[in-house]
Each structure stands twice: as C-alpha cells, then as structure tokens.
Amino acid sequence: MAVTTTTNEIEQARTMLAKGENKKASRLLTDVAIACRDAEQAREIKLIAEEGLAGAGMFGKSQWKEVIRLAGLRGA
C-alpha cells in the first residue's frame, strides 16, 4: 500500500467519523491498520480510533479497541 493511499484513507476515515459514520470509519481504519507499516501513520490511526472509542456506544467499543490493538502492533 502506497504512503499516499494510506494517508488518503486515514483522512477519509477521519471525515467519516466526523460525519457520524462510525462503523464505516472503524472498518476502513481496521484495513488501513493491517496494511500499515509506518509508525507515524499507526500513531495517527490510533489517535483517530481513540476518538472513535470515546464517542462509541456500548456495542461499538470493540471495533475501536481492535483498531487500537492493530495500530499498537504497527508501532503506535
């Protein structure tokens, strides 16, 4: 995955989260976190996921926790 593609997908997820499309954002960030090999991008993914976790309802928290876990594996 190219760096620009990853950056674009991170920004796309941030926009989705701002629009309230939490499920779509967490799915996209999960895919990006799996493919990510850059520690700085992993930290950014983790920050967005933490923001999503803070606003998640009872049943949405596990999606965000998985993104945070994956970003941690990538050096976040």
Is the pLDDT at 64 greater than 70? The verdict is yes
Query: pTM, whole model, 2 decimals?
Result: 0.87
Question: Between 39-55 and 61-73, two packed helices, what is the crossing angle to 10 degrees?
Answer: 160
The band of 2, judged by pLDDT with boundaries at 50, 70 and 90, is low
pLDDT one-digit tens code per residue, 4-59: 788 999 999 999 999 999 999 999 999 999 999 899 999 999 999 999 999 888 88
Q: How far apart are CA 52 and CA 18, in angstroms?
A: 9
Whole-number pLDDT of residue 14: 96
**Distances from the Cα of 52 to the Cαs of 13, 30, 33, 48, in angstroms?**
10, 12, 15, 6
Q: How far apart are CA 9 and CA 7, in angstroms?
A: 5
